[in-house]
């Protein structure tokens, strides 16, 4: 057992402990002009229902994520168990190009123009309201302008560094 002390926590020790924290797998997407970007994440949650607001956390060390910080829009797509290959494609586990990643699913748009996965368990189309930089990540808050959800299907979770269905 590892106990918290007043010394800074070793990042590897922290990641090992957080791997025991189960999270719903999400695909966050954005677009600007003819450029699209999508990233598989588990760091996303509801902030408020009035106004409807969600947040996503994105690593700021990847220069390709800059489009999320400048586009002003994003979509949070909740993945189902049937989306495991798509989650891998957008996580970087594959060496797919951006075009190949988006070819693993069918995408359309709702209000903002951010790519919406057509068979997502739930999709939240958002306008960015605030971005906070926190050391290695940016926290992006978005007001939900439109939602779409599919029939209830098993969810895709990530825990102990592997996928699970619930």
CA dist 91 and 101 (Å) reads: 10
Using CB atoms within 10 A of its CB, is residue 156 exposed (0-12), middle (13-18) or buried (19+)? Answer: buried
Nearest to 159 by CA among 42, 8, 37: 42
Q: Which helix (H) or strand (E) holds 103?
A: helix 98-103
Q: Mean pLDDT over residues 38-64, rounded? A: 96
Residue 27 and residue 42 in contact, taking contact as beta carbons nearer than 8 Å: no
Q: Mean pLDDT over residues 128-152, rounded? A: 95
Q: Mean pLDDT over residues 144-154, rounded? A: 93
Q: What is the pLDDT of residue 107?
A: 98
Q: What is the dihedral of CA 159, 162, 163, 166, to 10 degrees?
A: -40
pLDDT in tens, 102-127: 999 999 999 999 999 999 999 999 99
Q: What angle do CA 137, 79, 105 make, to 5 degrees?
A: 100
Q: What is the pLDDT of residue 6?
A: 62
Hey, what are 11's tokens?
């990042």
- pTM comes to 0.90
Percentage of the chain lying above the pLDDT 90 cut:
80
Using CB atoms within 10 A of its CB, is residue 43 exposed (0-12), middle (13-18) or buried (19+)? Answer: middle
């Amino acid at each position: 057992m590892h106990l918290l002390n007043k010394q800074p926590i070793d990042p590897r020790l922290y990641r090992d402990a957080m791997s025991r924290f189960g999270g719903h797998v999400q695909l966050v997407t954005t677009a600007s002009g003819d450029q699209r970007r999508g990233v598989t994440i588990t760091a996303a949650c509801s902030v408020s229902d009035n106004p409807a607001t969600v947040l996503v956390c994105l690593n700021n060390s990847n220069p390709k994520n800059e489009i999320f910080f400048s586009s002003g829009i994003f979509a949070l797509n909740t993945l189902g168990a049937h989306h495991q290959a798509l989650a891998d494609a957008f996580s970087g586990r594959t060496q797919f190009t951006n075009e190949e990643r988006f070819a693993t699913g069918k995408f359309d748009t709702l209000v903002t123009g951010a790519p919406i996965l057509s068979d997502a368990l739930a999709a939240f189309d958002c306008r960015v309201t605030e971005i906070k930089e926190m050391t290695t990540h940016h926290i992006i808050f978005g007001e939900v302008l439109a939602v779409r959800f599919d029939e209830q299907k098993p969810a895709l979770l990530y825990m102990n560094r592997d996928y699970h269905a619930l």
